[in-house]
A and B are shown apart, each in its own frame.
Chain A
Amino acid sequence: GAGVSQTPSNKVTEKGKYVELRCDPISGHTALYWYRQSLGQGPEFLIYFQGTGAADDSGLPNDRFFAVRPEGSVSTLKIQRTERGDSAVYLCASSSTQNSYNEQFFGPGTRLTVL
């Protein structure tokens, strides 16, 4: 079956603009995660969804960041008033609740560049 997909693969925007990043998880996976990977660092947790609800959004850096998953499948990460420091690779991952060790399946990421 299809893996996790993310669109766009690359996004270049100007400072102050609004962007949306999309994630299509593996069908049937109820858990969905967003991470941000900045240069030289590991993926940093942003938000976790279980079904439609955000079970933990403690990793979102500030109120410019917001994510939704209205039907419990596709998720959109929204960034308002982008800043140069938001430039990073945004990774999405999904997992099944049957996966007791929380093995996550990742998408290829969206590389966001804020000029």
Chain B
Amino acid sequence: ILNVEQSPQSLHVQEGDSTNFTCSFPSSNFYALHWYRWETAKSPEALFVMTLNGDEKKKGRISATLNTKEGYSYLYIKGSQPEDSATYLCAFNTGGFKTIFGAGTRLFVKA
């Protein structure tokens, strides 16, 4: 059974803090790792698709790294803002259509 673990489950930070979360996934049969941001009452929005070991992706204040050999990815947010408050989901794909999601990290940024 493929298992994707995310930690922490939730995180409360102050505006301006930098923060990071972890996604752990099976190191075998890796094909792609997706990060999504899901704000309340909205659609999950794709942040990054990561495919190669050592990949680093960046979008504004958000960046992500990938280690496929040890089976983890980190998502970093620099200078958190209240609008960053959301659930951050990672999802693991082995090359077929099936994508396995983690339970998410719920981020709360207080102004």
Determine if A20 is an interface residue (Cβ-Cβ < 8 Å).
no
Q: Are B93 and A101 in contact, CB atoms less than 8 angstroms apart?
A: yes
Q: Are A108 and B42 in contact, CB atoms less than 8 angstroms apart?
A: yes
Q: Which listed segment binds A: B14-22, B56-64, B74-82, B100-108?
A: B100-108
Which residues from B are CB-within-8-Å of A43? 44, 89, 101
Chain A residues numbered 66-115 whose CB sits less than 8 Å from any CB in chain B: 91, 101-109
Which residues from B are CB-within-8-Å of A45? 98-100
Q: Are B46 and A103 in contact, CB atoms less than 8 angstroms apart?
A: yes
Interface Cβ pair total, 8 Å cutoff = 58
Q: Are A56 and B97 in contact, CB atoms less than 8 angstroms apart?
A: yes
Q: Are A103 and B4 in contact, CB atoms less than 8 angstroms apart?
A: no
Determine if B110 is an interface residue (Cβ-Cβ < 8 Å).
no
The chain A residue sitting closest to B93, CB to CB, is: A102
Q: Are B97 and A42 in contact, CB atoms less than 8 angstroms apart?
A: no
Interface string of A18-55 (1 = CB under 8 A from B): 00000000000001010100001111110010100001
Contact of B32 (CB < 8 Å), options: A50, A102, A105, A106? A102
Report the bound CA distance from A105 to B43 in whole Å.
Answer: 8
Contact of B4 (CB < 8 Å), options: A31, A35, A42, A55? A42
With known contacts A3-B43, A103-B46, A108-B42, A42–B99 Cβ distance under 8 A: no
Determine if A60 is an interface residue (Cβ-Cβ < 8 Å).
no
Which residues from A are CB-within-8-Å of B31? 101
Which residues from B are CB-within-8-Å of A44? 101
Contact of B44 (CB < 8 Å), options: A41, A91, A101, A102? A91
Which residues from A are CB-within-8-Å of B89? 42-43
Report the bound CA distance from A62 to B76 in whole Å.
Answer: 39
The chain B residue sitting closest to A49, CB to CB, is: B97
- By Cβ-Cβ distance, the 8 closest A-B pairs, closest first, are A42-B101, A106-B44, A101-B32, A42-B103, A106-B43, A43-B101, A108-B43, A101-B49
Question: Could you list 12 examples of A-B contacts with CB < 8 Å?
Answer: A35-B101, A42-B4, A42-B91, A42-B101, A42-B103, A45-B100, A55-B97, A101-B31, A101-B51, A103-B49, A104-B46, A106-B45
